[in-house]
């Protein structure tokens, strides 16, 4: 049966590409995916698989109940895009100014839709129930996964699996982890309030730019000198905003950045260390500050047995020639909320497009579309393997 399923998926390759390219041309930002939701709902309406919209916000869940008893397993794909201008010279370039599928979510959606269509042919023979989970707003915290979990939509689910088309990994390579796979991802904003003045008279001011520069340097000491070397973390200041004139000392500076970590136990320690440094630098410079810290996605921690199952099951997917257990990546993923709530695993499906070296979130990002059926086949193979577990 599995070989027949794989063959049915392969026959839908052209449709997957067409779907992916349509979505690529019509991207929508997180929490604003109304047209994409309608596209997904219309697809399920057309093929006759029951579905629900408005799950946890803009989420869509379609349900295919098999003709044989078994477990209920959710297979997840996200569908939001990013505020990036598409700079690729391709026929399927984004038609929406300043918005782009720069992370492969269009491909995730295309794979899952085609998988649903393929599996409908095998419904009578299918053990258990597949929940095709289409999630909104992965790219922007608080994300779509958390409200979907909180809605209770997955309470009856036994396990959840998902994949990310990974543009920096070669085609035919599957990567996962049996523990922490992706980092926790938080956001912070620090505002320094000094005293502005003329650039020629710095002694009469409290230079917010100089204070912020000191702060940036000292924040790096959290990882290098205040954190256990065996713990992994990143403190990055990505935005430095201050000043409007070359001869004026700015009264205010704003720093915005991200904190990444793998061990949930060190999150509070990182926040406390940041607060100490900010307070100390500002006191020494007689300046005021505000520190706003937003906790984002927790680390994505795979369940070991489910990750092993994916690795073993993928041996039946002939398009995959290499399976790797890899060290965690410092990118974040709100799939983390699913594995906090249910057994499951997340994995990367290699999708590197030869001649395109650009990573995720780059204006020239693209994928090898031959990865689309590989993703679909791996998801359903993991599903079938899970059904066979005692």
Its pTM surpasses 0.75: yes
- Please report the pLDDT score of residue 248 as a whole number: 98
- Strand-pair category, 233-242 with 252-261: antiparallel
- Three-state SS sequence of 259-271: EEECCHHHHHHHH
- Please report the pLDDT score of residue 389 as a whole number: 85
Give the contacts of 101 (CB within 8 A, at least 6 positions apart): 23, 24, 27, 81, 82, 94
Say whether 361 counts as a known binding-site residue: yes
- Mean pLDDT for the chain? 97
- At 331-390, the pLDDT tens digits run 999 999 999 999 999 999 999 999 999 999 999 999 999 999 999 999 999 999 999 986
Residue 185 DSSP SS3? strand
- At 77-102, the pLDDT tens digits run 999 999 999 999 999 999 999 999 99
Domains along the sequence of the chain with CATH: 2-182+299-387 (3.40.630.10), 184-295 (3.30.70.360)
Give the contacts of 253 (CB within 8 A, at least 6 positions apart): 191, 192, 194, 208, 209, 211, 212, 240, 241, 242, 243
- Strand-pair category, 51-55 with 68-78: unpaired
- Please report the pLDDT score of residue 286 as a whole number: 97
* Residue 291 dihedral angles phi and psi, to the nearest 5°: -130, 110
- Please report the pLDDT score of residue 390 as a whole number: 62
Mean pLDDT score, 150-154: 97
CA distance 283 to 279: 6
- Please report the pLDDT score of residue 107 as a whole number: 98
Say whether 204 counts as a known binding-site residue: no
Say whether 303 counts as a known binding-site residue: no
Q: How many helices (H) and strands (E) does the chain have?
A: 11, 16
Mean pLDDT score, 234-244: 97
Say whether 324 counts as a known binding-site residue: no
Mean pLDDT score, 9-19: 98
- At 198-230, the pLDDT tens digits run 999 999 999 999 999 999 999 999 999 999 999
Confidence tier at 135 by pLDDT (50, 70, 90)? very high
Which residues form the catalytic set?
A: 80, 138
CA distance 358 to 113: 26
Say whether 282 counts as a known binding-site residue: no
- At 245-298, the pLDDT tens digits run 999 999 999 999 999 999 999 999 999 999 999 999 999 999 999 999 999 999
Give CA angle at 215 (213, 219), nearest 5°.
125
């Amino acid at each position: 049966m599995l070989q027949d399923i794989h063959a049915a998926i392969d026959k839908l390759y052209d449709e997957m590409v067409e779907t992916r390219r349509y979505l690529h041309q019509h991207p929508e930002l997180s929490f604003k995916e109304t047209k994409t939701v309608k596209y997904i709902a219309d697809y399920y309406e057309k093929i006759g698989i029951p579905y629900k919209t408005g799950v946890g916000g803009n989420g869509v869940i379609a349900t295919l109940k098999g003709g044989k008893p078994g477990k209920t397993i959710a297979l997840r794909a996200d569908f939001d895009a990013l505020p990036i201008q598409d700079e690729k010279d391709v026929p399927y370039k984004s038609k929406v100014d300043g918005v782009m599928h720069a992370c492969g979510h269009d491909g995730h959606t295309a794979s899952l839709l085609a998988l649903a269509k393929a599996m409908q042919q095998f419904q009578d023979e299918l053990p258990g129930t597949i929940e095709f989970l289409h999630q909104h707003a992965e790219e922007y915290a608080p994300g779509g996964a958390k409200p979907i979990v909180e809605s209770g939509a997955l309470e009856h689910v036994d396990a959840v699996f998902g994949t990310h088309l990974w543009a920096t990994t070669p085609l035919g390579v599957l990567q996962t982890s049996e523990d922490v796979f992706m980092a926790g991802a938080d956001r912070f904003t620090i505002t320094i309030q000094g005293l502005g003045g003329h650039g020629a008279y710095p002694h009469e001011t409290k230079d917010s730019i100089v204070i912020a520069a000191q702060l940036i340097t000292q924040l790096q000491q959290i990882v290098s000198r205040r954190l256990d070397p065996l713990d992994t973390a990143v403190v990055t200041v990505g935005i430095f905003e201050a000043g409007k004139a070359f001869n004026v000392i700015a009264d205010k500076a704003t720093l915005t950045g991200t904190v990444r970590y793998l061990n949930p136990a060190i999150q509070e320690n990182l926040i406390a260390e940041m607060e100490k440094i900010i307070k100390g630098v500002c006191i020494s410079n007689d300046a005021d500050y505000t520190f706003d810290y937003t906790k984002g996605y927790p680390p994505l921690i795979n369940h070991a047995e489910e990750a092993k199952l994916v690795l073993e099951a993928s041996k039946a997917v002939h398009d995959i020639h290499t399976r790797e257990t890899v060290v965690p990546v410092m990118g974040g993923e709100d799939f983390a909320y699913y594995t906090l709530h249910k057994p499951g695993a997340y994995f990367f499906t290699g999708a590197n497009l030869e001649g395109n070296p650009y990573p995720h979130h780059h204006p020239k990002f693209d994928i090898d579309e031959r990865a689309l059926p590989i993703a679909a086949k791996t998801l359903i193979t993991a599903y079938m393997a899970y059904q066979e577990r005692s």
